[in-house]
Amino acid sequence: MSPNTTNLSPFRNEPFTDFSSPENKRAMHEALERARAELGQTYDLIISGSAVRTSTTFHSVNPANPSEVIGIHYAADAEQANEAVDAAQRAFSLWKKVSVAERVALLVRAANLIRQRHFDFCAWLTLEVGKNWAEADADVGETIDFIEFYAREALRLDAATTPIQYPGERNLLRYVPLGVGTVIPPWNFPLAIMAGMTAASIVSGNTVVLKPSPDAPTIAARFLALMEEAGLPDGVVNLVQGGPEVGRALVEHPQIRFIAFTGSKKVGLEIHERAARTQPGQHFLKRTILELGGKDTIIVDADGDLDAAVDGVTASAFGFNGQKCSACSRVIVESSIYDTFCDRLKERVEKLTIGTPADNFQTGPVINEVARKRVLDYIAIGKSEGKLLTGGSAIETAAGGYYIAPTVFIDVSPTARLAQEEVFGPVLAVIRSENFDDALAIANNTEYGLTGALYSGSREKLDRARDEFHVGNLYFNRKCTGAMVGAHPFGGFNMSGTDSKAGGPEYLTLFTQAKSIAEKRGSVSDVSGD
C-alpha cells in the first residue's frame, strides 16, 4: 500500500549511526560479511526493465585491496546508449502522466527500503570506494535525506501558485517535466549523489538514463534493483555502465533534454560545451546541471579558537582522504599564530590512523592507481613549492592498496600550483596571511568557489566574510565539509559549477519547466462555481 503522501511528516535529517555502540559494530561487521559473500557477481545493463549484455566487461575493485573484485559489469557503447534513450522516451509518455502523489509515494517506499538496509549499503560503500564506517554512514544517510527531501519538495512545487491572481482571470502555474535526461554521478559519493540526482529527475516526471562512474558501478546497480523493488516502472530509469564513450553519446543525443553531472571541472566543461551544440533533430536547448570541483579554503584568524580550527581543518582536509569536492585543500593562517597553528596541525594530523576502511581506520586509500599517481605528482610539486610538514609519500601494504600518507605543506605561495589546482587527495597547503584583508583576498584568488570556512571570534569579521568570501557554501567556526540536506543547499560559484544547490528549495525547478496558464473567467461554464 502506498503511503499517504498528503500527510508526510516534516522533513528531518537522518541521524548518524553511533558506531561506539556494540550493537551497531556487530551490525556493520555482519553487513560486511554479507557483502563479501556476494563479491564478484556479474551485473547486467538494464534497459526498459530488461537485462542487456554486451561483448565487453570491466571489473570494479576494492581500492584497499585491488585483487578483490567487487563486481563485473557489462560495458555499454553508443548502441546501448541509443537504446536506453529510446526506452526512456517511451516510458516518459506514460510516466509524465503519473500523479505527483504516486511519484512521491515511490520515493518514500525507496527511502524506507534503504533505511532498512542501511548497514548493507554502508558495507558496499566501504568495499567499493574505500569509505570508513562514518563516511559510509553519512553517504547512506544523505541518500535517504535527498530522497525524502525531494519527495516533499515535489509536493510543494505541485501546489505552486502565481504571485497574484489577475482580475478577471484564473491564473495557474504548473511545473512540468522536461523529458528524458541523463544522470552522470561521481564515484566519491556514489550512492547519495547518484540517488539524489536520479530521484530529483523522476519525482519531477522525467525519465533517466543513468551512467555511473566506472569506479562505483556496483552501488548503482544495487540501487536500481532496490528502486525496482519499490515499484519503479520499466524504462523510467535505465542503467548503462561504461566510460567516456557512452557518456559522450548520451550528452550529444538529440533527445536528451538535460544532463545532471557531478565530477571534475575538465569533464564538466566538456559536457557543457557538447550540450550547447544543437544536434540534427533537436528542437530544444539542453539544460546542464553541473556540480564541479573546488579549491576550498579555511581561514584561521588570530581571534579564532585555535584548537577547534586545527580539528576542523584536519577533518575537512583528510576526511575520506581529501576525496571530496568540498574538502579543505588550503588553510590561510594569520601570521601572528602561524607557527603555533602549524605545530598543532602537525601533531593532530600525525595522530590520524591509516589502514583498511573495512576495519574502520580514519584514513584509507585513494580510489585507484590513476588517482594515486596524480596525488604523488602533486606531492612532488609541493616539495618544490613549499616546506613538507608531514606525510609526503605513498604507503605500501601487503594487499597493494592505493594508500598515501596525509600530507601537509607549509609556506606555500597563494599563487603556487598547490594553492590553485584541485588535487582531490590527502594534500593540504598552508598559506600565511598578514591580516584579515589579505586572507580574504587569498581566499578569493582561485577560479573555483565551492566551499569555505572562517574561524574567528569577531562578529565584524564574520559579517565581512558573509559578504566578501565568494563561495557557494560558507561555514563559520566549523569545518567546510559535511553539508546537510535542507540546512546547507549545496553548489558552488565560478568554475565550481552551475550553483545548482542540491538539497535546496529550488533544486527541482532545474528538472522542470514552468508553464503559466491564464483563463478568462466566465468564458466557459464552470461546474466548480469558482
CA distances from 265 to 140, 210, 260, 292, 373 (A): 25, 20, 14, 5, 19
Above 70 in pLDDT, residue 526?
no
Q: Compute CA 122 distance to the chain's CA centroid, rounded to the nearest angstrom.
A: 16
pLDDT, one tens digit per residue, over 480-491 is 999 999 999 999
Band (pLDDT 50/70/90 cuts) for residue 5 is low
Above 90 in pLDDT, residue 454?
yes
* Closest-CA residue to 145 (of 193, 202, 83): 193
User: Residue 511 in contact with residue 311, Cβ under 8 Å?
Assistant: no
For residues 431 and 485, give the distance between their C-alpha atoms in angstroms, rounded to a whole number.
Answer: 31
Strands 448-449 and 493-494: antiparallel
Q: Is 122 a catalytic residue?
A: no
Above 70 in pLDDT, residue 301?
yes
According to DSSP, residue 152 is labeled H
Instruction: For cell 582536509, name the residue.
Output: 317
Q: Is 396 a catalytic residue?
A: no
pLDDT at 7 (0 to 100): 80
Selecting among 122, 325, 328, 480, the annotated active-site residue is: 325
pLDDT at 529 (0 to 100): 47
Mean pLDDT of the chain: 97
- Mean pLDDT in residue range 376-385: 98
Instruction: Give 312: exposed, middle or buried? Use CB within 10 Å, 0-12, 13-18, 19+.
Output: buried
* Residues 491-509 as b or e (16 or more Cβ within 10 Å = b): bbbbbbbbbbbbbbeebbe
In sequence order, the 6+-apart residues with CB closer than 8 A to the CB of 299 are: 331, 332, 433, 439, 440, 443, 452, 453, 454, 455, 456, 465, 469
- Mean pLDDT in residue range 285-300: 98
Selecting among 14, 153, 291, 334, the annotated active-site residue is: 291
- Mean pLDDT in residue range 456-482: 98
Band (pLDDT 50/70/90 cuts) for residue 530 is very low
pLDDT at 527 (0 to 100): 55
pLDDT, one tens digit per residue, over 313-326 is 999 999 999 999 99
Above 50 in pLDDT, residue 219?
yes
- Which amino acid is it at 63? P
- Mean pLDDT in residue range 469-486: 98
Above 60 in pLDDT, residue 279?
yes
Give percent of the chain above pLDDT 90: 97
For residues 438 and 332, give the distance between their C-alpha atoms in angstroms, rounded to a whole number.
Answer: 10
pLDDT at 264 (0 to 100): 97
* Closest-CA residue to 54 (of 88, 86, 80): 80
Helix axes 22-36, 118-129, angle to 10 degrees: 60
Delineate the domains of the chain, giving CATH numbers in brackets. 78-164+172-292+497-515 (3.40.605.10), 296-476 (3.40.309.10)
In sequence order, the 6+-apart residues with CB closer than 8 A to the CB of 13 are: 141, 145, 484, 485, 486, 487
Band (pLDDT 50/70/90 cuts) for residue 523 is confident
pLDDT, one tens digit per residue, over 23-43 is 999 999 999 999 999 999 999
CB atoms within 10 A of CB 385: 18
pLDDT at 2 (0 to 100): 46
- Mean pLDDT in residue range 196-203: 98
Give percent of the chain above pLDDT 70: 98
pLDDT, one tens digit per residue, over 393-444 is 999 999 999 999 999 999 999 999 999 999 999 999 999 999 999 999 999 9
Helix (H, G, I), strand (E, B) or coil at 185: coil
pLDDT, one tens digit per residue, over 141-199 is 999 999 999 999 999 999 999 999 999 999 999 999 999 999 999 999 999 999 999 99
Band (pLDDT 50/70/90 cuts) for residue 6 is low
Strands 473-476 and 57-62: unpaired
